[in-house]
Chain A
Amino acid sequence: MSLKIDEIKKMIQEAIPDAEINIQDTAGDENHYSATIKSKIFSGKSKIEQHKLVYKALKGKMGNELHALALNTLEL
């Protein structure tokens, strides 16, 4: 089972409404993605906290249905 780009985007967008999200399927296999996410909620937070916010948005799918999602979080 895997997640499609639109599904990942939707989940992140729901949890982080102001997010500017850009996701790429790096291997073309719907299993290895790379995402750049910009949001105001990242400001003042450590990278660990920023990535945790994204993982939380994905509601436990990260590391399960979603095998690989390289993250680059940026403050807006």
Chain B
Amino acid sequence: MNENIKEKISNYISNNEVCLFMKGTPEVPQCGFSLAVSNVLKHLEVKFTGVNVLEDLEIREGIKKYSDWPTIPQLYIKKEFIGGCDIIKEMFEKGELQTKLEEKNVSYKK
């Protein structure tokens, strides 16, 4: 992967505690899976940054290599890749996402 793109992605992840690579924006998600993860975070009142991959083809392809994960959305919390839509939904339902946020000292609505 091009070093510039890698650095760009790495900067997003480092500079945003909770970073969601998604299709569309948190206000207007453009894909059902991005919408679902965005809604989970909103429900938990987690402050997060959405990176719209539809606006940047290099990031769209780059993030898949970066995390070795073929789909979008992708959620990072404090630089750790947490998962895609299925994993986030499942973690939320089991309360594991809340535990993760707790462990990482990220504030959310209890």
Contacts and interface: CB of A to CB of B under 8 A. Distances in A.
Contacts, number: 30
- What is the interface of chain A mostly: helix, strand, loop, or mixed? mixed
A28 interface: no
Interface stretch (B3-11, B41-49, B79-87, B101-109): B79-87
B85 A70 contact: yes
B83 A70 contact: no
A71 B89 CA distance: 11
Contact of A60 (B33, B70, B86): B70
Interface residues of A, number: 13
B68 A52 contact: yes
A55 B68 CA distance: 10
Interface of B: 33, 64, 68-72, 81, 83-87, 90-91
